[in-house]
Structure 1
Amino acid sequence: DTSEIEFDELVDDGAAKEKHTALHGALTQLASEFGKECRLSLPNFFIPRCASVISTGSLKLDLALGIGGLPKGRIVEIFGKEASGKTTLALHVIKEAQKLGGFCAYLDAENAMDPMLAEAIGVDTKNLLISCPDSAENMLSVVDKLTQSGSLDVIVVDSVAALVPQCELDGEIGTGEPDALSKIMTKALKRIHYSLCRSKTLIIFLNQVRYSPRSNQGPGMRDEVTCGGNALGFYAAARLRISRTGLLKLNDEVTGIKICVQVMKNKLAPGMKSTKLGIDFGRGLRFEPEVLELAIEHGLIIKQGDSYLIEGESVSSEHAAERYLAENEIVLEKVVMDLRRQLFDRNS
C-alpha cells in the first residue's frame, strides 16, 4: 500500500524530475516488498516516534529531563548505590501511569518489593502485575513478550544486578560462563528494542553500580560501572543516576533521605542536568516542598518575608505552606497544573 506515501510537487528541473521519479519507484517497490514499516518518510517516521511521556512524580525531575517525564516506547535505566531511592522512583512512575489509566508490570528479580510502600506511594497494587521469573533469560523473555503485546504502559525490572543466568542456576556456586549476563543482556535488548519500535511501553531497568578494579581516574581511584555490561547503556534513551546526599531529620529523628538525580544520558533533550529531591521513609518523594519551591520561583505563590500567599490564603511559615498544600488537594492540583503549563508547554 503506497497510497499513504506523500511526495512534494516536482520542481521544474530535468535532473530533479529524474531523481524524484527514481525515488518514487524505489519507495513503491520497498512498500510492496516489505510493507509500511520500511517507509522512508521523515514525517511518517517521526510522528509515531514522538511518544507521549509519563511523569516521574517529581516536577523538578520532569523539568531536568526536558520533556516533562520519561518517554513511552523507550528504555530507561535508573542506577545507583543501594538504598538510594531507585525503587521509590520507579513506583512513582507506575503511580503516574496508573493515574492515566495505564497498565503496569513489576518484575521483581530481587524479591524485595514492598506492597505496603507501594500503596503508601499511591500505587494500585491490585491492578499491578507482579512476577519473579527464575532466570535472567526467562525474565527478559517476559519483558519482550509483554512489550510485544502492546498492552502495558510501564514495565519495571528490579534489578539487572539480581538477574541470574540459567547456567549459574544449574551449576555449582562459583562456576559459570564468564560475562554470561552481559551476553544475555546484549542479545535480549536487541529483541526488546525491536519490539519497542511497535509499542508504546516504557521499560525501566533498575541497576546497581560496582567499582571496576581497572581505572582511568589515576592512582587510588576506581571507575564506577553498572551491572550487566554496556548494552543497556547503549539502548537506553535516558539514564538516571541516583545518589544519596544526606538525611532528612525532624527533631533529631531521621525521617528520610536527600538524593541527587543526574540525567547522565538523554536522547530526547539536552542531558547532563541534575536536581535534588527528598524522600520520606514509608511515603515516597516529598512532592509538596518541590511544588512550593517551583511555584515561588515562577510567581504562582508569593513569599512575603516569612509568610506565603497561596491562592489568596496567607500562611505563616514554609512548613505551614507545605502542610497547606498537602491538606488542600484542589489548591495543590491547580498550582501543579499551572506549573506544568508554564514549565512544559513552553518547552514543547
Structure 2
Amino acid sequence: MSTSLNTAKQSEVLNTAKQSEVLNTVKLYGTSTGNTSLDLALCGKCSLEFSSLSEISGENGVGKTTLALHSIVNCQRTNGVAAFIETEQSIDPAYMKKIGVDMDNVIFSQPTTMDDAFKIAFELIKSGTVNLIVFDSIASMLPKNEVVNGLLTENAALEFSRELAKNLEKIKAMIADSLCSVIFINQLRQNPNTSEWYSVGGKPLERYIDTRIRLKKGKVILSKKDSTVKMGHHVIATVLKNTYGKSGSIATFSVHYQKGINSVLDTLKNAVEHNIITTDDSGYTINHACAKNQSMGNDRAEALNILAQYPKFRTQIDIFTIYEHLRRAKNQLNH
C-alpha cells in the first residue's frame, strides 16, 4: 500500500542518491525560471543558463517582475544566492515575501542610475558568491533629464544605447564560465510610425542577450464567487531568442494578483505529462525512483495541496520533469 506524503517527512520520501544524480545533471545548465512550462519551452534546459544574460520583456502589469521573483525563489530553494537590483524604486518587499523570496538572504539594492546599478552587479560577480542577478529594469536606468514627455531625444537615446552596450559587454565577459546568470526586466514601447512594439535598449540587447522572453497578457481570471472581480490573468510567454536551444517556443501560465504565478498547478500538469506523477481512479501517485509508489492524494486538490505544503519537494519534482524531458529529447535525436 502506498503512503501519503502528508504523513511522511520529505527526507524520508526522496531517494538521496537518485536525487543527487538528477540535480547534478540539471545543474550543468543553470537554474530554473521558477516556471516549469517556461523551462520546458526552452528545450528543457533552464533559461537562466550559467554565464548567460536573459531578458524578460512585456507590457505593464503582465508579470515580468513576478516571473523574475519566482526565479529568485527557485534559486534560493536550490541553495543559490540571488540579488535583486531595482532601479524602478517601486517594488514592495512585502510582495516579494508573498511570492516566497527569503528576504533575509536576498541581496536587495535600489540604485538610481545605470552606472551604480552595474557597479553593484560587477562587485557581486567579482565576489564569486552570487548565482543570479536580476535588474529591474533597463528602462528605469534612464536619467530623468534625458526624458521628454516619456520619449528620449535622439542624442540622449544614442548615449543611452552606447552606455548600455558598454556595460552589457563588460558584464557578459565577467560572467563567462561562471555559475552566475543575469536577468534584465524590460519594458515595451510603441513605435509611433509603425505601431510596432519594441524593447527599450535596441541593438545592444540583440547583440549581447542570450535568451529573450516576451510576455503577453491572455484571458482574465475572474473570481468564482463574483464574476466582476478580477483575480489574475493568463500569460503567454514567447521565446524570441534562445542561444542554447530552440527559438519560437511558447509557454502559458497564470498570474494571480498578490499571490504570483500558480507554480503548483504548473508543476503537477507537467509532471503528469512526463509520467513523473501518474493518475488513475485511485488518485495521484509518484511514478519515479525518487519516491516510487508514494501517494499524492486521492484527487487533484489533494495532490496540489501536498505540492504546496512541501515547496522544496515541488522543486525536486520540477527537476525530475526537466530531466525526463532532456532524456526524451536525447532519445529522439538518437533515432
TM over 0.5: yes
Distance 1:207 1:302, change over 3 A: same
Q: 1:309 aligns with which of 272, 276, 284?
A: 284
Q: 1:269 aligns with which of 223, 245, 250?
A: 245
In 1: Cα distance, 2:105 partner to 2:33 partner: 19
- Give the superposition deviation at 1:60: 1.1
Aligned amino acid, residue 272 of structure 1 = G
Q: Deviations over 1:104-139 (max 9, x none)?
A: 211111011221121122211112112122222222
After TM superposition, the structure 1 = structure 2 runs for residues 138-177 of structure 1, keeping only pairs within 5 Å, are 138-165=116-143, 168=146, 177=155
* Structure 1 position 54 matched with structure 2 position 31: yes
Whether the aligned pair in 1 keeps the contact of 2:30 and 2:179 (CA below 8 Å) is no
2:172 matched residue in structure 1:
193
In 2: Cα distance, 1:120 partner to 1:68 partner: 24
Aligned amino acid, residue 75 of structure 1 = L
* Structure 1 position 111 matched with structure 2 position 89: yes
Give the number of aligned pairs: 288
- Give the superposition deviation at 1:290: 1.8
* Structure 1 position 247 matched with structure 2 position 230: no
SS of residue in 2 equivalent to 1:204: strand
In 2: Cα distance, 1:302 partner to 1:286 partner: 20
* Structure 1 position 341 matched with structure 2 position 328: no
- Give the superposition deviation at 1:192: 1.5
- Give the superposition deviation at 1:258: 0.8
In 2: Cα distance, 1:52 partner to 1:226 partner: 26
In 1: Cα distance, 2:207 partner to 2:264 partner: 35
In 2: Cα distance, 1:286 partner to 1:229 partner: 32
In 1: Cα distance, 2:54 partner to 2:153 partner: 31
Whether the aligned pair in 2 keeps the contact of 1:109 and 1:133 (CA below 8 Å) is yes
Whether the aligned pair in 1 keeps the contact of 2:97 and 2:103 (CA below 8 Å) is yes
After TM superposition, the structure 1 = structure 2 runs for residues 97-136 of structure 1, keeping only pairs within 5 Å, are 97-136=75-114
Whether the aligned pair in 2 keeps the contact of 1:141 and 1:188 (CA below 8 Å) is no
In 1: Cα distance, 2:201 partner to 2:80 partner: 29
* Structure 1 position 326 matched with structure 2 position 303: no
2:200 matched residue in structure 1:
227
Gaps of 5+ in 1: 1-49, 216-221
- Give the superposition deviation at 1:303: 4.5
SS of residue in 1 equivalent to 2:323: helix
In 1: Cα distance, 2:252 partner to 2:268 partner: 14
Whether the aligned pair in 2 keeps the contact of 1:78 and 1:241 (CA below 8 Å) is yes
Query: Which is further off, 173-182 or 265-274?
Result: 173-182
Distance 1:213 1:194, change over 3 A: same
* Structure 1 position 78 matched with structure 2 position 51: no
SS of residue in 1 equivalent to 2:104: helix
Gaps of 5+ in 2: 1-26, 286-293, 331-335
Q: Indicate the RMSD between aligned Cα atoms, in angstroms.
A: 2.8
Q: Deviations over 1:163-198 (max 9, x none)?
A: 1238649xxx98894313212101211212221225
Aligned amino acid, residue 258 of structure 1 = H
Whether the aligned pair in 1 keeps the contact of 2:51 and 2:172 (CA below 8 Å) is no
In 2: Cα distance, 1:130 partner to 1:285 partner: 21
Whether the aligned pair in 2 keeps the contact of 1:60 and 1:290 (CA below 8 Å) is yes
Aligned amino acid, residue 121 of structure 1 = I
Whether the aligned pair in 2 keeps the contact of 1:291 and 1:336 (CA below 8 Å) is yes
Query: Which is further off, 77-86 or 118-127?
Result: 118-127
1:288 matched residue in structure 2:
264
Whether the aligned pair in 1 keeps the contact of 2:274 and 2:325 (CA below 8 Å) is no
Whether the aligned pair in 2 keeps the contact of 1:168 and 1:175 (CA below 8 Å) is yes
Distance 1:207 1:175, change over 3 A: closer
Distance 1:329 1:237, change over 3 A: closer
